[in-house]
């Protein structure tokens, strides 16, 4: 028999994390601690973001209390496949962050409760990642860019859409001057308007941009299809994928919009089983993809990085450099070294 303990926690940003959709100074998460009859404990993380995640964040505590009762009826799980099947039966698709958190806790549990969610050799994991530059005034963004370049990142991702467009053009132009080989990604979080988005993308294309995530708000299929076909910068879908749960709807979206890339977030898209389906469908349609965190603590980030490491054939840079955003993150052996996510030789984890 299994037992579930739920521990709420508030992560505090080191700065006001700003996107075109607003600012965050902190965020609430729930740690899930699942224990078996032998005392082995697996830890997962439920980390939705208010107004961005599809579930109603205020409903999560009650749902987790009910889940704690239901999980007592779960028999012993031994394999990854059994875990994923069990979670899909316990948590509906419209609670993606809970699905992710429970998957992580149970996978950790069946692998011994040592944060080895997918791999027993953490020291062998080395995942290439992009350096994320948050929105802010020009000086703040330039400071972040310098830090990322000095740290050895070869792929820089800039959030755009909150500043004056000419100011952002100036920042990107300055960044491109540092190197012709630097990979520059942009993330608009839906900030551009449909009436001028193609003009803006044309101007941005002068700087050899790798891709831009979600240039316009989702749920505008005709406009997005047009942008994907006409943009001079490859388009990556992010928010557009939220709430698309059935296989048929996912296929229709990919065939209709024909994006160049998918940005996949296990917390946002319903866990690892769901993301694996997106990967399979993307590859069937010749679409590239990468995996990104959803600003989880080191508990969730650790699991996502181990999942990403299972696809060594994918040479895209993943978005896993968010562990240093918080004053009070869970102590972990996670290390960001020269643009790669890896682990220190010590495997010390802080208490949750």
Residues 6+ apart with CB under 8 A from 291: 264, 265, 266, 275, 304, 307, 308, 318, 319, 320
Q: Known catalytic residue: 7?
A: no
Residues 6+ apart with CB under 8 A from 124: none
Q: Known catalytic residue: 69?
A: no
**Options 28, 159, 173, 200, the catalytic residue:** 159
Q: Which residues are catalytic?
A: 159, 265
């Amino acid at each position: 028999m299994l037992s579930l303990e739920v521990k709420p926690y508030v992560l505090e940003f080191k700065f006001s994390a700003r996107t075109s959709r607003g600012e965050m100074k902190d965020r609430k998460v729930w740690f899930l601690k699942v224990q078996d009859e032998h005392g082995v404990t697996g830890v997962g993380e439920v980390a939705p973001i208010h107004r961005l995640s599809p579930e109603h964040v205020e409903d999560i505590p009650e749902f987790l209390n009910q889940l704690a009762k239901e999980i007592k009826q779960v028999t012993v799980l031994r394999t990854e496949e059994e875990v994923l099947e069990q979670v899909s039966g316990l948590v509906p698709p419209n609670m993606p962050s809970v699905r992710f958190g429970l998957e992580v806790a149970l996978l950790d549990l069946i692998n011994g409760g040592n944060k080895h969610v997918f791999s027993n050799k953490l020291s062998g994991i080395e995942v290439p990642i992009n350096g994320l530059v948050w929105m802010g005034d020009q000086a703040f963004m330039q400071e972040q860019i310098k830090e990322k370049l000095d740290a050895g990142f070869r792929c820089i991702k800039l959030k755009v859409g909150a500043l004056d467009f000419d100011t952002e053009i100036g920042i990107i132009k300055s960044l491109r001057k540092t190197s012709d080989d630097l990979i520059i990604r942009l993330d608009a979080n839906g900030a551009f308007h449909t009436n001028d988005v193609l003009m803006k993308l044309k101007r941005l294309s002068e700087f050899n941009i790798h891709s831009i995530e979600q240039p316009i708000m989702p749920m505008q299929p005709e406009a997005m299809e047009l942008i994907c076909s006409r943009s001079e910068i490859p388009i990556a879908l992010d928010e557009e994928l939220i709430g698309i749960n059935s296989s048929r709807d996912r296929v229709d979206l990919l065939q209709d919009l024909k994006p160049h890339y998918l940005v996949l977030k296990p917390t946002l898209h319903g866990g690892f089983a769901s993301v694996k389906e997106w990967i399979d469908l993307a590859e069937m349609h010749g679409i590239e993809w990468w995996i990104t965190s959803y600003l989880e603590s080191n508990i969730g980030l650790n699991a996502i990085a181990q999942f990403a490491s299972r696809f060594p054939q994918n040479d895209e840079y993943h978005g896993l450099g968010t562990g240093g955003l918080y004053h009070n993150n869970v102590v972990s052996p996670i290390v960001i070294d020269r643009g790669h996510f890896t682990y220190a030789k010590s495997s010390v984890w802080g208490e949750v």
